[in-house]
Amino acid sequence: MKKLLVVLLSVLTVLTLAGCSGGNGNGGNEDNTAIKIGVVQLVQHAALDAATQGFVDVVSKEFPDADINVQNAAGDSATCSTIAQGFVNDGVDLIMANATPALQAAVSATGDIPILGTSVTEYGVALGIDNFSGTVGANVSGTSDLAPLDQQAQMILDILPEVKTVGIIFCSNEANSKYQVEVVSKYLEGKGIKVIASSFTDSNDIALVTEDLCAQVDALYIPTDNQAASCAETIANVVLDKKVPVFAGEEGICKLCGVATLTINYYDLGVETGKMAVKILKNEAKIEEMAIQYFPNPVKKYNAEVCELLGITVPEDFVKCE
């Protein structure tokens, strides 16, 4: 009888310990010390850095002992895949993917671990979903950095009403950049503006592409393109010398080389992504039912120094870049 009691107690102990073990791959983890989160960020620049920081601040406040592993792919999509697969092998409870290539890499790496994207413009385009409804389903959700593209295009016409030709610079490797180019080009062409879109593949050719465009256009537009953002100083060296005004899809680019932008707040976007993660990890929401969240109130901002250099006056509803 004693032997039987010992065996039963041993079994109960094993079951209890098993019940307290960490992540299950489907979201939800009540043992704060066991929570592991992997963050894969495409490249280092102000916007993505802010989104990651907002996410980390929210999650670490809610789960002080969580292991949050932030890794940067230095602009390389293949490295995103390597990082994402490493997180899967490590058995993380959730992956946060910052930027479109990072999201694509995470989705390719796992169909089980919850994935939250951020700084992704259009999820239907990024993931090849036709007639996207706003909810990805399965193990994917997140936040979008999409500001109204028609309003961004109109911003150029409002500030430079005499503009005839607009050039657009974008990275050919970013699907969401191509999407933005298509939308903005269609809008401007509908207003009688000639659009010249030029792509680059990496930092080695962006200066040459920018110089070539500056010789052909009255103004430039740069979408929320991560590779362009990481090379904004290189672009600035060209456009400021040529005195060609740049209109940007987000504030980070505008602060370095732009005239104006209609921008979201990337830190706040990361905060919203972090709140979604908390709900998933606390079993308060199912990721497959979570709709993509959008930033509600983009702000018109201008770069006072560049505007003064180029002799440009912006409408009164624009505020200075911080």
Name 88's Cβ contacts closer than 8 Å, sequence gap at least 6.
109, 110, 113
> Which DSSP category does 167 fall into?
E
pLDDT at 204: 85
pLDDT, tens digit, for every residue of 99-131? 999 999 999 999 999 999 999 999 999 999 999
Q: Where are the domains of the chain?
A: 24-145+266-291, 149-263+299-320
Is it true that 24-145+266-291 and 149-263+299-320 share their CATH fold?
A: yes
Q: Average the pLDDT over 244-250 and give the result.
A: 96
Helix or strand or coil: residue 142? strand
State how far the alpha carbon of 256 is from the alpha carbons of 206, 225, 229, in Å. 15, 14, 9
pTM: 0.82
pLDDT at 316: 93
| pLDDT band, very low/low/confident/very high, at 275 (cuts 50, 70, 90) | very high
pLDDT at 25: 46
Q: CA-to-CA distance for 127 and 271, rounded, in angstroms?
A: 23
pLDDT at 274: 98
The answer as to CATH 2.40.50.660 being correct for domain 149-263+299-320 is no
Of residues 167, 176, 264, the one with CA closest to residue 206: 167
Considering only residues 264 and 6, tell me which one the structure prediction assigns the higher pLDDT. 264
Q: CA-to-CA distance for 267 and 56, rounded, in angstroms?
A: 10
CATH architecture for the domain at 24-145+266-291 = 3-Layer(aba) Sandwich (3.40)
